[in-house]
Amino acid sequence: MVKKVEEQKIVEHKHDKKIRKWQWWVIGVVLFIGLVILIGAFVLNGFMGKSEAVTEGELSVTVLDSGVTVTRDDSGVPHIDAGSDADLYRAQGFVQAQDRLFQMDLARRQASGRLSEVVGDAAVSTDRFFRTFSLRHAAELSYDGYGEEAKQVLAWYAEGVNAFIESAKEEGTLPFEFTILGYEPEAWSEVDSLTIGKYMAYDLSGNWSTLAFRHWAVGALPEEKARELFITYPENAPAVIEANRDNPVNIAFGDVPLPPEHNGSNNWVVSGDRTESGEPLLADDPHLGLSTPSIWYQMHLTSPEQNVSGVIFAGVPGIILGHNDEIAWGVTNVGPDVQDLYIEKQNPDNKRQFWFDGQWEEADVRNEPINVKDGETVEYRVVTTRHGPIISPVMDGPDSNTLFSMQWTALEPTLELQAVLNMNKAENWEEFEGALEDFHSPAQNFVFAAKDGTIAYKANGRIPIRKTGDGQLPVPGDSSDYEWTGYVPYDELPTLVNPDEGFIATANNAVVDESYPYHITDFWAQPYRYQRIKEVLAENEQMTVDDMMALQMDIKNLYAEEFLDDMLQAIRSSQQADQFEEELTILDEWDRMDHKDSAGPLLFHRWMKELPLVLFEEEIPKDAMELFRGTNHITDQMMRDSFSGKESVWVEEYGGVEVWLGDALSRVVDDLSEEFGEDSTDWRWGDYHQVYFEHPLSSALPVLAWLLNREGPIETSGSQITVQAQGYGADGVADHGGAWRFVADVSDLSSTYHLVGPGQSGHVKSDWYHDQIEDWIDGNYRETVTDPEKVEGQVLELTP
């Protein structure tokens, strides 16, 4: 017995030793993995840190004529002080490349249709699209039209960018993203800068997709139903309607990179009669994509010829929005109809010829081979008629039975950079308005304030005049009856100087009424942001900088003010009322502020977004819905009509407004219960509505997402229709909004207020990479000074 016990103890001892051995082995493996990760992190940290911008000390930049001082302030804003404009623009190119070279290279590649060269097969469809849209070709045409002064600025800027590229290649300090993708950047050219400018015109001029959708709707739906999907239906253009009915389009739109639908912005200017300082105040927050790095790069440029501060797109010289010592300015998007689709008739015996006014005309054909990393070159060609490029292959597949060409103001030679350079040096409204004459595309609402007390507004850019129609549908390309006859004369563009009201505001709203003699668009933004801005400005006769900043962060929901009471009444009068007792109470008690801690905005916005889905999903295919922009404009009008007693065909066929609203709300409540729990009193807008500044490489690997997207998604207040605006997708993540916010008091233009989300630098190890995210969400503005005597920070001397 004793022997058995001892044997058992020996067995247990051996077992314990095995367990301990196994445990030590596991611990050893864990320690080894941890050590490898630690070493890897150390190596990665060193590798990435090697490419971080040098911001202090001295650097040799061989292209300079004289020394240039670059002082980066506490927010990372570079203040460049040069002895000449030549060295100023060279230094601007060098400094932008220090902080944003990868972003600059990616931007020129995307706009030029050359992403496949560095990312492979996945980008071929995107490259086809941008080759077809011909942005780089348009930039080349524009370059030829520039004067010598602007060409010289472009050359100086390119010299600075290339000085950095050459130095970084020699020292092995190129941004780490190039190493990850396995390539080195090419030399920068003057046309690269103009191509990035053309891409911004593309991002702000997206009505071609609406025309394509309407073409489908007219051909596929009964006329009375198609009619209700237009803001205004083209009553007096029967030939246009027939052309669209006779040419039905295949719905296979696929992977088309459409610009964001909510490319809006806010700006306003207040005269000195209504401000505490006695001089004008100006505010601007242009709404574009929210990303890492920011689409905007803030700079302060000083030479004997100028002292200008504000923002520019990385890759472009000058300052496009901001101020100098005498004036300040800002923009919103006009959003005019500047893209027309033409239904082209091709010669069956010669594919390069198209019928026009009784004869075959030869099209221009450009060979655009697409080089693919680790793949075969894709042969591609762009065919351009008298109207513009044939876009059907990228719009609805190569087997389309309708050939569309696109005429677009941005594809013509334009001179925006020339305008920017002259705006930077303007000292009054007359000089500034004169500079604007060269700002052709995209059309922008400029607001202006000057130290002499002037406040002004101009809707600027080329807006076409059509011989027939108003650009709401594709038109026959075989007849001169549908040609453009010119543009709205510059001195007849909407303009306002020193109005009696004492302020001017725009938020992509209608800027003219029916008395205006020219067509701009019928597709203005919903008016709620503009109405709220005007409401606040009208109530306050002693505006301050703090008031302006507070208004930019305003979250009052005037959309709900218009519709919600009628919507609730419709539900309460329906058979579904008992089903939503708790949700109706939440909406009743909601203060109509889109605050992140409130359940009201979550219910309201999800309900409004569900309405077009419920109404249209049975009859409009998914591919067509992708091109159907502004669906809520249409359903809003249907609700207005229903509440006033004249129900639309769509709503009537559905079963009436009560059934429509009830079904949509039922789906929303079911979805929210699944996402956030059964108790609707625990729901919060911020649990759904969040902001995420995503780096373009972060989607490639989870470790890159962890590394490059420092923070987020983060809860945020506001919505797409509040002044604090953020456009968001089906997942609630805001990816579009005022990445730059700006407020200026012209009584002291040496000190202005800004926010750049998420930060200034494009380098993940920089202190200025994501340092403004929380401030951007909370509205804590940064002060930027432009008095050379007061500029402080990290000083870098650039020497010849």
Residue type, 318: G
Distance, CA of 550 to CA of 527 (rounded, Å): 20
For the segment 451-467, the average pLDDT, to the nearest whole number, is: 97
327 membership: H or E segment, kind and range: strand 327-333
Residues near 800 by beta carbon (within 8 Å), at least 6 away in sequence: 60, 61, 62, 64, 65, 66, 67
Residue-wise pLDDT for 771-788, tens only, equals: 999 999 999 999 999 998
Question: Is the pLDDT reported for residue 149 higher than 70?
Answer: yes
The pLDDT score that the predictor gives to residue 255 is 63
The reported pLDDT for the residue numbered 8 is 59
Q: How much is the pLDDT for 45?
A: 54
pLDDT surpassing 50 at residue 36: no
Other beta carbons less than 10 A from residue 177's beta carbon: 24
Number of helices and strands in the chain (H, E)? 26, 32
The whole-angstrom separation of Cα 212 and Cα 229 is 13
**Tokens of residue 490, six digits:** 């510059």
Please check the confidence at residue 760 and state whether its pLDDT lies above 80. yes
Q: Is the distance from CB of 483 to CB of 405 less than 8 angstroms?
A: no
**Is it the case that residue 28 has pLDDT exceeding 50?**
no
Give the residue, 340 or 469, on which the prediction is more confident: 340
Residues in CB range of 403: below 8 A, 6 or more apart:
343, 344, 345, 346, 390, 392
Percent of the chain at pLDDT above 70?
A: 90
How much is the average pLDDT of 737-742?
A: 96
**Residue 629 confidence class, pLDDT cut points 50, 70, 90:** confident
Name the token pair of 185. 């950047």
pLDDT tier for residue 694 given thresholds of 50, 70 and 90:
very high
Give Dmax (Cα) for the chain: 115
Beta carbons of 504 and 455 less than 8 angstroms apart: yes
- Categorize the per-residue pLDDT at 705 as very low, low, confident or very high, splitting at 50, 70 and 90: confident
pLDDT at residue 232, as a whole number: 75
H-helix or E-strand spanning residue 12? helix 2-49
The residue behind tokens 């916010």 is 741
pLDDT tens digit sequence for 157-201: 999 999 999 999 999 999 999 999 999 999 999 999 999 999 999
> Can 699 be counted among the known catalytic residues?
no
CA 284 to chain centre: 15
The residue-averaged pLDDT of 115-134 equals: 95
Average pLDDT, the chain: 91
93 touches 161 (CB < 8 A) = yes
- Residue 15 above 60 pLDDT? no
The pLDDT score that the predictor gives to residue 284 is: 98
pLDDT at 491: 97
| Options 142, 265, 303, 441, the catalytic residue | 265
Q: Which pLDDT does position 236 carry in this prediction?
A: 58
Give the pLDDT mean for 36-57.
66
Confidence at residue 110, expressed as pLDDT on a 0 to 100 scale: 97
Question: 52-66, 202-216, 320-334, 635-649: lowest mean pLDDT where?
Answer: 202-216
Report pLDDT for 38: 41
Reported as type and span, the H/E element at residue 691 is: strand 690-691
Which band of pLDDT confidence, cut at 50, 70 and 90, is reported for residue 37? very low
Q: Taking the CA of residue 323 as centre, how many other CA atoms within 13 Å lie in the half-sphere pointing to its CB?
A: 30
53, pLDDT greater than 50: yes
Average pLDDT over every residue of 620-645: 91
Average pLDDT over residues 398-413: 83
Q: Where are the domains of the chain?
A: 1-49, 558-592+599-683
Residues 6+ apart with CB under 8 A from 109: 115, 117, 118
Mind listing the pLDDT tens digit for each residue in 373-382? 999 999 999 9
478 appears as a binding residue in the annotation: no
Is 337 marked as binding a ligand?
yes
Quick count: other Cβ atoms within 10 Å of Cβ 432? 23
Give the pLDDT mean for 301-307.
97
Q: What value does the mean pLDDT take over residues 529-547?
A: 97
| Interior/surface letters 738-766, b for 16+ CB within 10 angstroms, e for the rest | bbbbbbbbbbebbebbbbbbbbbbbbbeb
Q: Taking 50 as the threshold, does the pLDDT of residue 33 lie above it?
A: no
Query: Is residue 739 pLDDT above 60, yes or no?
Result: yes
d(CA 185, CA 164): 11
Give the residue with greater pLDDT, 246 vs 555: 555
